[in-house]
Amino acid sequence: MLRPADIKQSIDLVSIISESVQLKRSGRRLMGLCPFHSEKHPSFCVDPEKQLFYCHGCGAGGDVFNFVMKLHNYSFHEALTFLAEKAGIREIEDERLKFLKQLQTLFRKTLLLSQKAKIYLTKRKITPEKAEHFGMGLAPKNLLQILKEKNQLLQAQMSGFKNENFIRLLQGRLTLPFYDRCGNLVGFAARTLNNQVPKYINTEETEFFKKKNLLFGLNFLQHKEKVYIVEGYFDCISCLINGIPSVAAGSTSLTTHQAKLLKGFDRVVVAFDGDHAGKKATMRAFKILVAADIYPHAIFLPEGEDPDSLLRKGKKEQFLRLPEKDLFKLIINTIEKLPPQKAITKLNNLAGFLANIHSPLSKLLLQQIRKTFSIKIEKQTRKHLETEEQILQILLSSPELVENLEKRQLFEAMENSEIRKTLKYFAKHKTLPEGHTHMNLLARASIYPAQKNLIERAIRYLERKKVCREIVCPSEKS
């Protein structure tokens, strides 16, 4: 398996950053225009010695893994693969990924032999060739037994098949594979063929498989022209079979991370189900797509239809002829029809949302609002950092101090368990794991260590907090 530490050693942060940012030397450090927010004067700083970066403008920071993850919107695993390739280190496959591939082969073979699955797929107008193309499979009815006999139960659990009950629930279900952007099979969705509840189950999330970071179907798209975002996996498969480029969010709640995967496409069209939930979700998708710097369009399906139902009825032409609505204009038109006071509140909310995004698209939309309504828009200030996050950042300036505070058990007083975990790790290892979420704070603390008075204030805060806690719940002392 690829080891992050090995890769970090054989890669230079400066050369990776220089591929996308023009850096100029300034003392011991290098400065450039931040690739993560738009700016005219450089506030993006790289420390070649420490191999860390930090931006004063937007607070982005960290090591080479954080940089690549943020820039390309990669998962940690994708960043690892990407950097390994740059470093010329060949990936030795992870055992768990190999295991998933083996299972996939088993599932596909099982599908070919099942009459029941065949009937089901025919009903859905999916030919055996197409089923094969999309990597569909069938979990054998005796999967648990097979895994036990092969002594692979533990391996299965580590790969997302959480326990025996889950495997039992999986047995006899139709499986759909999830791929990451490197083409690795990372997990499965499984649909019942017997009207079992729940209709769908997924293998559990692992470090490779984060469902909300993946878009089903993305790996099948060859061109980056238009793409439809649909709700369900079978909506997506039906679209693809009909030559309509689409991806499935897996539910109505599209995530920001999923949206960012579609950056690069010429046109993104939301095509959720023709029901109340679908309409509401389309409006939510507007914000998520805009936040990902994507101009959103949408089609609204006839009541009671979804892309799959429409296409299965042979109504491809009707689907393609549905008018593509400009979601921004649609929202503005709706606001215009409201009573004035309500309209202003709504507009301010929308403008506040846009003002907080800092992207070229959000600026453009804001300008349009100003032009259309010529009203003064209240600007919302960006949310301040959480106090505990500030304290974390201050403390990361001094490994010795953190070790000392850990001995005094002062971190128990902090509310945020993630921050507690980070501090405990830091106390022990004097650094954070590659690509860690709080690496931006460590980068800042390393490049610009906190001043003594700030450190003292942070310690006093923790001491006070601990005393408060002990008064509120004295039992914790024992």
Q: How near is the Cβ of 1 to Zn ion at its closest, in Å?
A: 33
Q: Which is nearer to Zn ion, 215 or 357 (CB)?
A: 357
Taking residues 197 to 226 in sequence order and writing x for each that binds Zn ion by CB under 5 A, - otherwise, the string is ------------------------------
Residue 58 near Zn ion by CB under 5 A? yes
Q: Which residues are within 8 A (CB) of 39 and not within 5 positions of it... i.e. 6 or more apart? A: 33, 57
Q: How near is the Cβ of 44 to Zn ion at its closest, in Å?
A: 6
Q: Residue 20 is encoded by which pair of tokens?
A: 């996308």
Could you tell me where the beta strands, DSSP code E, fall in 308-379? 325-326
Span near Zn ion by CB under 5 A; candidates 54-62, 141-149, 398-406, 435-443: 54-62
Q: How near is the Cβ of 60 to Zn ion at its closest, in Å?
A: 5
Closest CA to 68 of 43, 36, 42, 92: 36
Span near Zn ion by CB under 5 A; candidates 19-27, 55-63, 76-84, 246-254: 55-63
Q: Which is nearer to Zn ion, 120 or 448 (CB)?
A: 448
Span near Zn ion by CB under 5 A; candidates 56-64, 111-119, 319-327, 369-377: 56-64
Q: How near is the Cβ of 41 to Zn ion at its closest, in Å?
A: 11
Q: Centre a 10 Å sphere on the Cβ of residue 119 and count the other Cβ atoms it contains.
A: 11
**Residues 36 and 68: beta-carbon distance below 8 Å:** no
Pairing mode, strands 200-202 and 226-230: unpaired
Q: Which is nearer to Zn ion, 57 or 449 (CB)?
A: 57
Q: How near is the Cβ of 17 to Zn ion at its closest, in Å?
A: 12
Taking residues 343 to 382 in sequence order and writing x for each that binds Zn ion by CB under 5 A, - otherwise, the string is ----------------------------------------
**Residues 156 and 143: beta-carbon distance below 8 Å:** no
Taking residues 9 to 28 in sequence order and writing x for each that binds Zn ion by CB under 5 A, - otherwise, the string is --------------------
Span near Zn ion by CB under 5 A; candidates 58-66, 92-100, 233-241, 400-408: 58-66
Q: How near is the Cβ of 38 to Zn ion at its closest, in Å?
A: 9
Main-chain dihedrals φ then ψ at residue 117, nearest 5 degrees: -65, -35
Taking residues 127 to 166 in sequence order and writing x for each that binds Zn ion by CB under 5 A, - otherwise, the string is ----------------------------------------
Q: Which is nearer to Zn ion, 34 or 405 (CB)?
A: 34
Judged by CB under 5 A, the residue of 18, 36, 124, 279 near Zn ion is 36
Q: Which is nearer to Zn ion, 44 or 234 (CB)?
A: 44
Q: Which is nearer to Zn ion, 70 or 96 (CB)?
A: 70
Q: Which is nearer to Zn ion, 36 or 448 (CB)?
A: 36
Q: Centre a 10 Å sphere on the Cβ of residue 284 and count the other Cβ atoms it contains.
A: 14
- DSSP-derived secondary structure for 14-63: HHHHHTTS--EEETTEEEE--SSS--SS--EEEETTTTEEEETTT--EES
The count of residues interacting with Zn ion (CB under 5 A) is 6
Name the packing angle between helices 439-447 and 387-395 (round to 10°): 50
Q: Which is nearer to Zn ion, 57 or 128 (CB)?
A: 57
Q: Name the percent of the chain in helix, strand, coil, to the closest 5.
A: 50, 10, 40
Closest CA to 361 of 267, 296, 297: 296
Classify the C-alpha dihedral 437-438-442-447 as positive or negative: positive
Q: Centre a 10 Å sphere on the Cβ of residue 242 and count the other Cβ atoms it contains.
A: 17
Q: Which is nearer to Zn ion, 37 or 312 (CB)?
A: 37
Q: How near is the Cβ of 58 to Zn ion at its closest, in Å?
A: 3
Euclidean distance between CA atoms 116 and 174, whole angstroms: 11
Burial of 294: CB neighbours in 10 Å, binned 0-12, 13-18, 19+ = buried
Pairing mode, strands 61-62 and 137-138: unpaired
Span near Zn ion by CB under 5 A; candidates 50-58, 82-90, 116-124, 179-187: 50-58
Euclidean distance between CA atoms 227 and 244, whole angstroms: 8
Q: How near is the Cβ of 139 to Zn ion at its closest, in Å?
A: 46
Judged by CB under 5 A, the residue of 57, 128, 433, 449 near Zn ion is 57
Judged by CB under 5 A, the residue of 2, 34, 139, 445 near Zn ion is 34
Euclidean distance between CA atoms 337 and 316, whole angstroms: 34
**Residues 209 and 203: beta-carbon distance below 8 Å:** yes
Q: Residue 214 is encoded by which pair of tokens?
A: 């993946």
Q: How near is the Cβ of 36 to Zn ion at its closest, in Å?
A: 5
Q: Which is nearer to Zn ion, 34 or 176 (CB)?
A: 34
Q: Which is nearer to Zn ion, 81 or 440 (CB)?
A: 440
Q: Residue 376 is encoded by which pair of tokens?
A: 């003064």
Q: Which is nearer to Zn ion, 55 or 236 (CB)?
A: 55
Contacting residues toward Zn ion, per CB under 5 A:
34, 36-37, 55, 57-58
